Amino acid sequence: MSVLEKQPSAVRPTERPAPVRRRRVVDEHGRRVRAWELALRYALLLGVLALTVGPFLWQLSTSLKGPTEDIFSSPPKFLPGDPTLHNYERVADTIPVWDYALNSLKVAGANVVTNCVGSALAGYALARLRYRGRRVATLAFILAMLVPVEGIIIAQFTTMRELGLNNTLIGVVLPGCVGAMNVLLMRNAFLNLPYEIEEAAFVDGANSWQRFLRIALPSVKGTLAVVAIFAFMGAWDDFLWPLIVLSDPSKFTLTIGLNYLHGTFANDERLVAAGTVIAVAPLIALFACLQRYFFRGVGEGAVKG
């Protein structure tokens, strides 16, 4: 997908030359976009922008409003009159929010490492190595991808209990620590590499580890980055599974902590707002830095279904 903006190219002569040489906006085919159409487009874009980003800003604004400021006024006041970080201190006094953030970070970090390592290894085995049972292994991953997680959480929970891992962060990470879809994504990435180079290395006597680490892996960094980002986001944002597996408030992740905060202090909107800002800010920052991989992941993930 091209996300480059076209520079306004040479202006075509028109019948009535404008007195001032205005910046002409052209579309991807070099045609001029008419002024009224452009105005309409921007109006619509700004409208959608208000709808999609506005709610986040309202939450931020609420979190910065002090205890004396009316947050229920009609018409509403969009900007805090006297911005304060007081509510963020209060969140930390009410729930161990930084511990929860650390738990989320641990879970998300572990999920990134295990998914990258596990799916790269398995993806390579499915794409490049020859052995009996490869088709069965591929089928196992495809089946696993098709199983709706919501339908097996109770059995996952009883499995965790049997392993004695319920109510632990390891228990939160384990079921998704090598995602079947990630394995298949890596498999496709390896399949798209030219085979001749690995063949040459094979002739030179390189074994499968050497071919994997030195040749194949460095060529699929892009897909690996996509896997890493979606593993991080998936673990950081996950709600249903941690809700089921964690019962001890000291082990909560941020999402479960927020749910707890909302359940206990629902009437304190400033407090809940501050909590949600803490939970969402890191991911928005990550997204702002690595947009390209987020968008690429959507494309590749959707094709796999």
Contacts to another protein from residues 104-143, by CB under 8 A: 114, 117-119, 121-122, 124-126, 129-131, 133-134, 137, 140-141, 143
Q: What is the DSSP letter of 12?
A: P
Angle, nearest 10°, between helix axes 269-304 and 221-237? 140
Q: C-beta of 25: minimal distance to another protein in Å?
A: 6
> Taking CB under 8 A as the rule, does residue 274 contact another protein?
no
Q: C-beta of 99: minimal distance to another protein in Å?
A: 17
Whether 107 contacts 173, CB under 8 Å: yes
State the SS3 of 203-244. Answer: HCCCCHHHHHHHHHHHHCHHHHHHHHHHHHHHHHHCCHHHHH
Instruction: Name which position in 112, 178, 228, 271 contacts another protein (CB under 8 A).
Output: 178
> Taking CB under 8 A as the rule, does residue 102 contact another protein?
no
Q: Which stretch binds another protein (CB under 8 A): 14-22, 80-88, 89-97, 202-210?
A: 202-210
Q: Which of residues 26-45 bind another protein (CB under 8 A)?
A: 27-29, 33, 38, 41-42, 44-45
112, 190, 191, 194, 214 from 54: Cα distances, Å: 31, 41, 43, 47, 47
Considering only CA atoms, which of 240, 236, 222 is closest in space to residue 294? 222
Q: C-beta of 10: minimal distance to another protein in Å?
A: 17
Q: Which of residues 57-86 bind another protein (CB under 8 A)?
A: 58-59, 62, 72-76
Q: Which of residues 222-261 bind another protein (CB under 8 A)?
A: 222, 233, 236-240, 243-244, 254-255, 258-259
Specify the residue, 85 or 284, whose C-beta has the smaller distance to another protein.
284
What is the C-alpha separation between 295 and 305, in angstroms, rounded?
A: 15
Map tokens 């205890």 to a residue.
67
